[in-house]
Amino acid sequence: MKNFKTLALSLLVLVSAGTLSAQTTFEANPAKSTLKWLAKKVTGQHDGTVAVKSGSLTVNGGEVTGGNFVLDMTTIKVTDIADPETNGKLVGHLNSDDFFSVEKHKEANFTITKVVAKKSADGSTHEITGNLTIKGITNSITFPAKVNLRSSGFIATAKFNIDRTKWDIKYGSSNFFAGIGDKAIYDDIAFDLYITSVK
């Protein structure tokens, strides 16, 4: 019985290694993937979510080599405001040209251009660089991520900030509008990303 268990474990390791040694593309599972956002202003903050529409991660020789992920901007939600009317007003404003121009740009896109295996004290395993496109504007960003590769797919998590003004989202920014005082909205948007291919 012991020999059988040892053999089974060895076969599992060989199968996993074999699967990841060749180039493989894993498709993300949008239903189990999430993107949370947090935006702060002088008088407080708001948070919410945006749905992951699709995505894929390419692995070669057991290493992440590329990937592409699409966000459905029409799904922007605010999760910190309970009142339906107030919530709806903020969602409508976020959809407007003051922020994400969702009617014109229904999707945001992130394409990986470089991956460096890099373990850090925060638990991250890789440094990811890629092109983030919002409102039709593309900028390169780099951030740490934790990527757990398996023979059946992957789980990837990351926390990072972007300067929204680089994507022409300047509403309420004190760097572009003088004298707005406590109505100012900070330029950084924080993201908490969880993407998986697990069914």
Residue 10 lies in a domain: no
Give residue 40's Cα distance to chain centre: 19
- Size (the chain), residues: 199
CATH number at residue 72: 2.40.128.110
Residue 12 lies in a domain: no
Residues 6+ apart with CB under 8 A from 61: 20, 21
Q: How far apart are CA 64 and CA 24, in angstroms?
A: 10
Q: How far apart are CA 122 and CA 143, in angstroms?
A: 12
Residue 78 lies in a domain: yes
Element (H, E) at 139: strand 137-150
- In single-letter form, the type of residue at position 55 comes to G
Cβ atoms 192, 50 nearer than 8 A? no
Residue 3 lies in a domain: no
Tally of domains within the chain: 1
Question: What count of other Cβ atoms lies within 10 Å of the Cβ of residue 148?
Answer: 11
Residue 9 lies in a domain: no
Residue 165 lies in a domain: yes
pTM given for the model: 0.87
Residue 179 lies in a domain: yes
Show the domain range for 173.
Answer: 22-196
Residue 59 lies in a domain: yes
Kindly give the confidence (pLDDT) of every residue in the chain, 199 residues in length, as a single tens digit, with 9 standing for 90 and above.
444 333 333 333 333 434 455 789 999 999 999 999 999 999 999 999 999 999 999 999 889 999 999 999 999 999 999 999 999 999 999 999 999 999 999 999 999 999 999 999 999 999 999 999 999 999 999 999 999 998 889 999 999 999 999 999 999 999 999 889 999 999 999 999 999 998 7
Helix, strand, or coil here: 175? coil
